[in-house]
Amino acid sequence: MRPTFEPAAVPSREGWTGQSRIHFRAILNSYSEVLFLRGWRFGAVILTVTLLSPNVALAGLLAVLAAYAFARFIRMAPTFMDSGFYTYNPLLVGLSLGYLFRLTPLTVFFVVTAGISAFVLTHALFSASWHYLRLPVLSLPFVLVSSVAYLAAGQYTNLYVDSLYPRSVLALETAVPLWLGGFLRSLGVIFFMPTVVAGAVIAIALLVRSRILFLLAILGYYDGTLTLSALGGSTAAAFSDLNAFNFILISTALGGVFLIPSLRSYTLAIIAVVVSTVLMTSAEIFWSLYGVPVFALPFNLVTLTFVYILGLVDFPLLAKTSGTPEEVLDEHLAGASRYPGSHRTLALPFSGRWTVWQGFDGPWTHQGPWRYAYDFVITDDQGETHRGEGTRVEDYLAFRKPILSPVRGRVVRVVDGVPDNPIGVTDRSRNWGNLVVIEDERDFFVEISHFSEGSLKVREGDWVERGAPLGLCGNSGYSPQPHIHIQVQVNDRVGAPTVPFSFISYAEGRVFHANDTPSQDTVVEPLHPDRRLENRLGFVLDEVHRFRVSGCDANRFPGLGPGELELTVRMAPDSTFYLDSGKGRLFVGSKDGTFYAYRVDGDDPCLAAMFLALPRLPLANRPGLIWKDALPATLVARGPLRMALGLIRSLFPAWGAVTAELEMVTEETVAGRIRSPLLSSPWESRVDLHPIRGFERIQIGDLVLERIDET
């Protein structure tokens, strides 16, 4: 079950792995997906656990192989199959049938057809649920197919005559206290292995892989069983109910997978588990009439309902990326500081230095439906907006200065012919004065107001690129002095209600901002990308970069020794480029005048060092610029602290934050310093760009990556 609403396509890397190894890992990924995790190693542990009951293990594996073979037969894209997203439901169906029936030629046929059915239903349900409701599919296909199979099996006499088999109970099962044994058996029953041994192995593996999910599993189980105990009056009955695995799945899904781990997500998980107890009891009673287990129906209904409602209210902690809860939390906390702006991004609508006269929720006119707007004026060294007494409109520094298009799009409204007000007079009848409304190609509208009369250079229907001249700054409409008013709105109507937006690639003095909202009274200046610098950091698909690794720092990057590093430029299915080392991937790209290192996947300390040394770079190529960036804390934490870091930060988000302070020293060199309470002292870094493409030299602490050019 994916931590995001859509299945993430994992690029298949042939070559060093080999095609057979890719298929093997894809099958193992099906096992890890059941507990919302990625990774074939975790899947291998779960597969090993199921071998405690060979019949169950073989039936599950057979169902996955059948689904996988069918997907290949219909030529489904391998990148989507390799993730395990489409095959974990067939796996669960196979395990459920293997738990009930001994494998015979007849049951093999039954398992294969059920596995293929679960795969087809997974694909169909996901397409519908994601397209119409933006919801995941979870294990609903497994519940439906297994319920149908159990109901149908009641009419298949040969199955009951030839294929039912006894299951032994180990002495250990009765030696463990009921409160602990119930939890472990509930963990095991997720994979149809309701034993203490199976549950203990899964619990240990879960603890190693994700402390947050382990905590939520415990929290959900005891929250649900104690509620059942209070309602039913029997603690023993509550701890003996194997359907309590639903509580574990609900808690982990809502507390740490579909929501960013936090006190609020943990609280929601507790509430959802309590709500599910009544549903689970009623479902048990209803399904028992037909001799069918309740399976994971309560988990699916409660989780999908909560996720849907939270999506409707635009709950701020809905997860938008995938990975372990620790990884998602780390990326979320760093991203909140890395990307403070909005997805509605505008360039500043002028050149040179202008001053923010009024911003969002401004003290004068930016209120109510028009709260999200900016006003800009030009000021001199003394902060004055005019020359002399400022009694004439021509005295003002902004008057008849060029206004540039902040976006690319279609001009949909133009108003001209409103005269410029004399100073001291405002036109309340024509509030917005001369204006232009542009429909951005990203489905929002930008209104720029108070142009000077007769200065507009565009007409309705014109297409404009970012930076194209629109007209000249004026004093028309409700304007006490010449200024630029800009807002983003929900439709093309003049003066429509506004929505949040932000500005890209600008400087406040020496400080660079990639995407942000400047404060009132700050002086800002747009920065424009340097084509040469863009080309240097514009990586080319299949290009190979080789580095000599030396001066390794065992404290900062344990396990890394001298040698060579080879990076190949590859492209993910979402068109994002990444540098592939074989052990990990560093995702990079340029957007809106800034080069970004987005994230590191895998476990390669060299890629982590590259990310830390240059998490972002303004492409304006202006020596002296300085900027800050927030970094994932897991890149600097070590040992037991790293394992506990995610759980700690879910409770205390500000703890252990990592900040990079960077400066463009020359056109080719960026120096940095990394600070964090997790570090005994700051880490110094330096990056030298290659004259043609990529990096010439990267140093962080004593670790040095030096480019090896082909001769």
pLDDT in tens, 342-352: 889 999 999 99
3-class state of residue 496 by DSSP: coil
**pLDDT value at position 95?**
96
Q: Measured between alpha carbons, how far is 244 from 238 in angstroms, rounded to an integer?
A: 8
Cα–Cα distance, 546 to 135 (Å, whole number): 43
pTM above 0.75, yes or no: yes
How many other CB atoms are there within 10 angstroms of residue 566's CB atom?
13
User: Percent of the chain beyond pLDDT 90?
Assistant: 64
Mean pLDDT across 642-656: 90
Q: Tell me: pLDDT of 559 over 80.
A: no
**Distant-in-sequence, close-in-space partners of 275: CB < 8 Å, separation ≥ 6:** 302
> Would you state the pLDDT for residue 155?
77
Among the listed ranges 10-24, 457-471, 623-637, which one has the minimum average pLDDT value? 10-24
Spatial CA neighbour of 505 closest among 670, 346, 384, 369: 346
| pLDDT of 368 | 86
Model pLDDT, residue 558: 63
Q: Return the sign of the alpha-carbon dihedral for residues 371, 377, 381, 386.
A: negative
Residue 435 forms beta bridges with which residues? 415, 449
Model confidence at 174: pLDDT above 80: no
Tokens of 252: 């982990």
Among the listed residues 205, 181, 207, 204, the one whose alpha carbon sits nearest the alpha carbon of residue 194: 181
- Tokens 């003066």 sit on residue: 495
Where does residue 346 rank: exposed (0-12), middle (13-18), buried (19+ CB within 10 A)?
A: buried
10 Å Cβ neighbour count for 331?
A: 21
Contact 191, 81 (CB under 8 A): no
DSSP state of 254: I
The 8 Å CB, 24+ separation contacts for 41-44 are 42/205, 42/209, 43/84
Between these two residues, 166 and 592, which has the higher pLDDT value?
592
CA distance 475 to 405: 18
Mean pLDDT, the chain, integer: 89
Residues 6 or more apart from 236 whose CB is under 8 A from it?
178
C-alpha 264/C-alpha 440 separation (Å) is 36
Helix ranges (DSSP H) in 386-466: none
Strand partners of residue 438 = 411, 446
CB 543 within 8 A of CB 695: no
Distance in angstroms (rounded) separating the CA atoms of residues 221 and 214: 11
The yes-or-no verdict on residue 418 having pLDDT over 70 is yes
For residue range 29-50, list pLDDT tens digits in order.
999 999 999 888 999 999 999 9
pLDDT band with cut points at 50, 70 and 90 for residue 16: very low
Res 17 pLDDT > 50:
no
483, 398 contact by CB (below 8 A) = yes
The answer to whether residue 355 scores a pLDDT higher than 90 is: yes
Over pLDDT 70: what percentage of the chain?
Answer: 93
The secondary structure element, H or E, covering residue 662 is: strand 658-664
Q: What is the mean pLDDT of residues 514-518?
A: 94
Q: Residue 556 pLDDT > 70, yes or no?
A: no
Overall residue count recorded for the chain in this entry: 711
Q: How far apart are CA 100 and CA 117, in angstroms?
A: 18
Instruction: Point out which residues pair with 410 in neighbouring strands.
Output: 439, 463
**Cβ-proximal residues to 314 (8 Å cutoff; 6+ apart), any chain:** none
Q: Is 156 exposed, middle or buried (0-12, 13-18, 19+ CB in 10 A)?
A: middle
The distance in angstroms from the start CA to the end CA of the chain is 48
Q: Are 24 and 50 in contact (CB under 8 A)?
A: no
pLDDT tens for residues 279-316?
Answer: 999 988 887 787 788 899 999 999 999 999 999 998 99
Q: 75-113, pLDDT tens digit by residue?
A: 887 666 677 788 899 999 999 999 988 888 888 999 999
Q: Is the distance from CB of 441 to CB of 422 less than 8 angstroms? A: no
Segment 421-425 long-range contacts (CB within 8 Å, at least 24 positions apart): 421/393, 421/475, 421/476, 421/477, 421/479, 421/480, 422/392, 422/393, 423/390, 423/391, 423/392, 423/393, 423/395, 423/396, 423/475, 423/480, 423/481, 424/480
Q: Which of 27-41, 111-125, 545-559, 682-696 has the lowest mean pLDDT?
A: 545-559
Select from 481, 476, 472 the least CA-distant residue to 428.
476
pLDDT > 50? residue 10: no
At residue 553 the predicted structure's pLDDT band, cuts being 50, 70 and 90, is: low
Give the per-residue pLDDT at 31: 93
pLDDT at 314: 87
431-482 residue pLDDT tens:
889 999 999 999 999 999 999 999 999 999 999 999 999 999 999 999 999 9
Burial 382-407 (b: 16+ CB within 10 A, else e): eeebbeeeeeebebbbbbbbebbbbb
Backbone φ and ψ of 83, nearest 5°: -75, -20
On the question of pLDDT at 360 being above 60, the answer is yes
CB neighbours of residue 461 within 10 Å: 9
Q: Is the pLDDT of residue 15 over 50?
A: no
> d(Cα 435, Cα 280) in Å, to the nearest integer?
60
Q: What is the mean pLDDT of residues 227-237?
A: 92
